[in-house]
Amino acid sequence: MAHQALWSGRFKEPLSAIALNFSSSIDLDKRLYQEDIAGSIAHVEMLAAARILTAVEARRIRTALKAIQKEIETGKFQLTGEYEDVHLAIEQRLIQKVGPLGGKLHTGRSRNDQIALDERLYLRTAGKEIARLIVQLQRVLLYKAEKYFGTLMPGYTHLQRAQPVMVSHHLLAYVSMFERDYERLHDCLRRLNKSPLGAAALAGTSFPIDRQKVAKKLHFDGIIENSIDAVSDRDYLVEFLSVCSIIMMHLSRFAEELVLWTTKEFGFAQISDAYTTGSSIMPQKKNPDMAELVRGKTGRVYGSLLNLLTTLKALPLAYNRDLQEDKPPMFEAVNTTRQSLFIFSHILVHTTFDKKHMEEELQNDFLTATEIADYLVRKGLPFREAHAITGRIVSYCIDHRMYLGNLDLDTLHTFSKLFEPDIFDYMLPHRSVEQKQSTGSTSPQEVKKQIVHWTRVLKKRKG
Ligand code: ARG
């Protein structure tokens, strides 16, 4: 048993294969080998600077650790189930390579602060990637918003047609949502970027280590001061998974809209063949599977968040082995969020909107009924009365199987004498959109403002 040598003193018999198999986390935490080695190198350099190790010792350990990293990357050293976790595997390999000197690496350190460090380093990188993918998606949305500027579609409430809106306006709503996700992510990364290393098992260490120095080497903005806190809390991960959950919630709503829009019933959009699939039995089918999968995978990320919260609930301080169970939700949520953002940009690039069909649908409906009510208000009626009159007009149209566009002035006069010929202009969907005055509305000027704003914001952004 390879790892047993590390603490064989206390035990009279080795860990049973069954117990090792049950408790090993290496299948998952082997993904943290880079972070683990980077942390060890920073630690050993600090030990030398603090004269706890000699410069020669530190250099030998550092060189060996770098060699181990290569061995892992080339498959020469395999992180397999014979080790309990990635930390012990690497330490064991180090001792194999440099002899008893390798045993000095763990001076003033514990796996408890080591794993908290590795996770923070991992999330820092994953967070940057997710941020980049959010920006990429925002850019695609902005591109589409510019491309379809001027195209109208029915806007909905309760999934019932409500008022005409610009397609660009709808798409830009998602740009704002993803902007908040981006901000939330950075806020989380800012709080997360503190080093727990040097907390040791829970109480700190009697060696004169320099925690700040290690933190600096690893580009942290300081340390988690309280050693018990540093090894026991996983709130940084809870926050990260919350951010991922919110991103997935936004993606899933959008995915749902794409699924709806690409049905015959809506007919608003088409996703190109390369991003849709057929049916094994029904030759006519073209299914929006990628969007459905994004919607479906949202459950994995919410599940991960709840999984983690449940693991943490009621855990006494400080470290408990339960905490090892934070790995499955961490990797699951990070991978799923990354993949989903990535595919979504691609789906969207390959989505086209059917301008003609959407605008036809706007004609054949009652989406500008609010404009009629507002028209009467401008002629002096209280809004509630205007609303009632317009409601009666809509009801009349439904009874006579017609739409607002089919009404003539004589018919309108039977409802109110206030109508004049200009009412027909007010009922046009384009006019409805153009008439909007309020900040952030769907009027072309306001939508243009948004486009200008986001172009400026996204141009400045890296990635
Ligand atoms: N594999 C462990 C984890 O992920 C590392 C820390 C183990 N610490 C311990 N005292 N057993 O949590």
Give the residue, by CA position, lying nearest to ligand 1 atom 2: 324
Structure confidence at residue 277 (pLDDT): 86
Structure confidence at residue 338 (pLDDT): 98
Could you read off the pLDDT tens digit of each residue along the chain, which spans 463 residues?
Answer: 445 567 778 898 989 999 999 999 999 999 999 999 999 999 999 999 999 999 999 999 999 999 999 999 999 999 999 999 999 999 999 999 999 999 999 999 999 999 999 999 999 999 999 999 999 999 999 999 999 999 999 999 999 999 999 999 999 999 999 999 999 999 999 999 999 999 999 999 999 999 999 999 999 999 999 999 999 999 999 999 999 999 999 999 999 999 999 999 999 999 999 988 887 888 888 899 999 999 999 999 999 999 999 999 999 999 999 999 999 999 999 999 999 999 999 999 999 999 999 999 998 889 999 999 999 999 999 999 999 999 999 999 999 999 998 899 999 999 999 999 999 999 999 999 999 999 999 999 999 999 999 999 999 997 6
Asked if 279 is an active-site residue, the reply is yes
- With beta carbons less than 8 A apart as the criterion, state whether 387 and 373 touch: yes
Give the residue, by CA position, lying nearest to ligand 1 atom 4: 324
Structure confidence at residue 57 (pLDDT): 98
CB-facing half-sphere around the CA of 249: CA atoms within 13 A: 12
The count of residues in the chain is: 463
Give me the DSSP letters along 92-153: HHHHHHHGGGGGGTTTT--HHHHHHHHHHHHHHHHHHHHHHHHHHHHHHHHHHHHHTTT-EE
Structure confidence at residue 109 (pLDDT): 97
Structure confidence at residue 90 (pLDDT): 98
| Minimum-distance ligand 1 atom for the alpha carbon of 327 | 4
Which residue out of 16, 272, 279, 395 is catalytically annotated? 279
**Ligand 1 pocket member 83 (CB < 6 A):** no
Rounded distance from Cα 29 to ligand 1 centre (Å)? 10
Structure confidence at residue 120 (pLDDT): 98
Rg (CA), the chain: 31
Q: Best mutation site among 88, 202, 237, 321 for ligand 1, i.e. most ligand atoms within 8 A of its Cβ? A: 321
Structure confidence at residue 463 (pLDDT): 67
**Contacts (Cβ under 8 Å, ≥6 apart) of 195:** 117, 120, 211, 214, 215, 218, 220, 222, 223, 224
Structure confidence at residue 4 (pLDDT): 53
Amino acid at 115: I
**SS3 string of 381-430?**
CCHHHHHHHHHHHHHHHHHCCCCHHHCCHHHHHCCCCCCCCCHHHHCCHH
Closest CA to 347 of 282, 258, 285, 268: 258
3-state secondary structure of 231: helix
Q: Which domains does the chain have, with CATH numbers?
A: 8-107 (1.10.275.10), 115-152+167-185+230-353 (1.20.200.10), 361-459 (1.10.40.30)
